[in-house]
């Protein structure tokens, strides 16, 4: 089977509790959770199994929902905006006007306390002639065709094994 956290193939998974959910993980990942003993009896109802699957699916999609080539807002978007604006000799007011926003929005963007919407990101990029998006970097073990992604059958088997 594969580790439910990192997707690595693992012969003898450890059953650990991580933030309230029970996962079967490799020895590396087991350090992140509290080891629990498998109950050994199969007392899970179908509903419970489906609920767990749903939860795992959500957890997976939140970390793995993006595929190679997707773009995400750069971590240092606030610096990029401020530096590009200063380089162009613009005040926050100037920039606010050119992207049709309030000056307070620009101030928040530059402090990093506000993430620009997709639309505003595009406006800022073209107004400042910069890139605000970075390519999403996916760890090699998480690519979708190496067997790391669990099938529904795998999830049911694992849920029952818990
Ligand atoms: Zn792992």
pLDDT in the model for residue 76: 94
What CATH topology corresponds to 76-135? 434 Repressor (Amino-terminal Domain) (1.10.260)
Q: What is the C-alpha separation between 90 and 83, in angstroms, rounded?
A: 10
pLDDT in the model for residue 18: 78
Report the separation in Å between the CA atom of 3 and the middle of ligand 1, taken as the mean of its atom positions: 5
User: Which of 26-33's residues contact partners 24+ apart within 8 Å by CB, and which partners?
Assistant: 28/3, 29/3, 29/5, 32/5
Instruction: Answer yes or no: pTM beyond 0.85.
Output: no
pLDDT in the model for residue 20: 79
Q: Both ends of the chain: CA-CA distance in Å?
A: 14
pLDDT in the model for residue 150: 63
Report the separation in Å between the CA atom of 22 and the middle of ligand 1, taken as the mean of its atom positions: 13
Q: Quick one: tokens of 50?
A: 């489906």
For the chain, which residues score pLDDT lower than 50? 40, 142-144
SS3 percent helix, strand, coil of the chain, rounded to 5, is 45, 10, 40
Report the separation in Å between the CA atom of 26 and the middle of ligand 1, taken as the mean of its atom positions: 4
Report the separation in Å between the CA atom of 142 and the middle of ligand 1, taken as the mean of its atom positions: 11
pLDDT in the model for residue 63: 57
pLDDT in the model for residue 28: 87
pLDDT in the model for residue 82: 97
pLDDT in the model for residue 121: 96
Report the separation in Å between the CA atom of 146 and the middle of ligand 1, taken as the mean of its atom positions: 15
pLDDT in the model for residue 17: 85
Q: What is the C-alpha separation between 7 and 139, in angstroms, rounded?
A: 11
pLDDT in the model for residue 120: 96
Domain ranges of the chain: 14-69+143-161, 76-135
113-151 burial code (b ≥16 CB/10 A, e <16)? eeebeeebbebbbebbebebeeeeebeeebeeeeebebe
């Amino acid at each position: 089977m594969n580790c439910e956290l990192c997707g690595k193939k693992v012969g003898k998974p450890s059953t650990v509790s991580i933030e309230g959910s029970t996962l079967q993980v490799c020895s590396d990942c087991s350090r992140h959770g509290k080891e629990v003993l498998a109950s050994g009896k199969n007392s899970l109802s179908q509903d419970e199994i489906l609920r767990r699957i749903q939860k795992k699916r959500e957890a997976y999609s939140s970390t793995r929902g993006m595929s190679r080539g997707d773009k995400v807002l750069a971590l240092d978007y606030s610096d990029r905006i401020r530096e590009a604006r200063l380089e162009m000799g613009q005040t926050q007011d100037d920039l606010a006007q050119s992207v049709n926003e309030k000056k307070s929005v620009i101030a928040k963007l530059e402090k990093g306390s506000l993430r620009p919407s997709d639309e505003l990101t595009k406006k800022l990029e073209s107004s400042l002639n910069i890139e605000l998006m970075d390519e999403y970097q996916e760890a090699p073990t998480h690519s979708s065709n190496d067997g790391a992604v669990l099938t529904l059958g795998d999830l049911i088997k694992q849920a029952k094994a818990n």
